[in-house]
Amino acid sequence: MLEKLEKSPEIAIAIIATEEVFKTYELICLDKLKEIGRSTAREWSFAMGYEHRSSLAKIIRRIKERYPEKLKIYEDKYPRLYEAM
């Protein structure tokens, strides 16, 4: 395969273009939140297809730990609002 890459840069570009980018479930949830805009955990859970409002509780906790710069939390209101950055 390396021989093909050295001979033809077009093949190298084609291989790079066909590589898939995999996302974690946390990033998928952040994409959905960005789609629906600023919302509560309940609205966000229902948008993700869950039937209970607290279904994303662990996911939100993991997002706060792993990607704190991608999630803005409005804690001064009840219910708490979340927004994807």
For the stretch 29-39, pLDDT in tens is 999 999 999 99
Is 61:39 a contact under the CB 8 Å cutoff?
no
The residue-averaged pLDDT of 5-21 equals 62
45-73 confidence digits (pLDDT tens): 999 999 998 889 999 999 999 999 999 99
Contact 43, 36 (CB under 8 A): yes
Asked, as a colleague might, if the bond just before 9 is cis with ω within 30 of 0, I would say no
**pLDDT-derived band at 23, boundaries 50, 70, 90:** confident
How far from 48 is each of 12, 38, 51, CA to CA, in Å? 37, 14, 9
Tell me what pLDDT residue 6 has.
58
Q: What DSSP state is assigned to residue 22?
A: P
Q: What is the CATH architecture assignment of 23-84? A: Orthogonal Bundle (1.10)
pLDDT bin (cut points 50, 70, 90) of residue 40 is very high
